[in-house]
Amino acid sequence: MKLSRTEYIDANGLKLCVRHWGHEDAPKLFMLHGWMDISASFQFVVDAFQKEWHVIAPDVRGFGHSEWAKGDYWLADYLADLEAVLDYYSPDEPVNLIGHSLGGKITSVYAGIRPNRIARLISMEGYGIAENLPEMVPGRIEKWLDSKKNPKRLRPYKDRQAVVNKLMANNPRLTEKRADFLADYWAEQTPTGEWKFLADPKHKLVPSLTRLDEILACWKRITAPVMFVEAEHSWMGIRRRDPEHAQEEIIRRASCIPQLEYVVVMDSGHMMQHDQPEQVASLIERFMDGSNGTVREDSDVAD
């Protein structure tokens, strides 16, 4: 297993924990994890890399060992944190950027807002954003107001094995060995002997709903080559809400990005970096080396 190291940087008034693998002189790969996850989630992919990379992966604000926000969590803040990380480690060069799930959403939006900062982008299960409608806003804000009076809590786990069991329950494809590794990064022991998940409960309910048309407007501005990676057994909302028309909707969304390659990781669920790290590592290295293969037309996304 390749060793990682961490350091803390200041980003927009918060301290972010940034995890590194590899030598600092190696080509850089920036990786951003998803919702209710941590940077160490990429360990198995890093172990599967055949080339030497300097992988730089922050814990997103409010997750892992990064500081919690004093208020709520907004997409704009995630974007500002990402820019702070890129400016700190690669101020003068476009970057190779990878995001999973929420991280895929953040990185793909950022790539459209700052197209000149991105050399290549991979979004892993990061394009299944819900199509939030204006009529949904009152109910969301009502729940958020209620949460201010009765803040959410994340339940503790009685011991470390309970954390391992929870990780395996969340993802039946996760091996016990990998769950055992992740447990020490996903949670920590409290003075009472219980284990708590390293995440701010406020992530569970945000006051705003991101509009899909706003996301797609950003995607249209992306100039870098992009790879969308989907799991064969994806449970993204786009497939869960309307499985009959999901592929058609994916094609519509994909058509917004000028240079797109679409890939499916076989025998994998949403957490592909845990389920099939060797496949994911191979895709990343091939794409980042510039070997796109054939960039698919919109109609080919359904293949």
Going by the DSSP 8-state scheme, the letter that residue 74 receives in this structure is -
pLDDT confidence of residue 292: 47
- CATH number, position 31: 3.40.50.1820
Is 286 part of any domain?
A: yes
Burial of 42 (0-12, 13-18, 19+ CB in 10 A): buried
Domain span at 69: 4-134+211-302
pLDDT confidence of residue 152: 83
How far is the C-alpha of 97 from the C-alpha of 288, rounded, in Å? 9
Q: Which residues sit opposite 57 in a β-bridge?
A: 19
pLDDT confidence of residue 236: 75
Structure-token pair, residue 203: 């992530």
How far is the C-alpha of 236 from the C-alpha of 246, rounded, in Å? 10
Is 280 part of any domain?
A: yes
pLDDT confidence of residue 38: 98
Is 58 part of any domain?
A: yes
pLDDT confidence of residue 295: 37
Is 155 part of any domain?
A: no
Contact of 9 with 84, CB cutoff 8 Å: yes
Is 77 part of any domain?
A: yes
pLDDT confidence of residue 303: 38
Q: Which of 286, 263, 140 lies closest to 211, judged by CA?
A: 140
Please give the tally of structural domains in the chain. Answer: 1
Structure-token pair, residue 156: 């503790």
pLDDT confidence of residue 246: 81
CB environment 195-226: b (16+ within 10 A), e (fewer): bbbbbbebbebebebeebeebbebbeebebbb
Is 33 part of any domain?
A: yes
Contact of 264 with 280, CB cutoff 8 Å: no
Is 154 part of any domain?
A: no
Helix (H, G, I), strand (E, B) or coil at 254: helix
Cα 64 → chain centroid: 13
Is 167 part of any domain?
A: no
Give me the average pLDDT of each 10-residue run along the chain (303 residues). Answer: 97 97 97 97 98 98 97 94 98 97 96 98 87 85 90 92 97 97 96 96 83 93 96 81 81 90 94 98 95 40 39
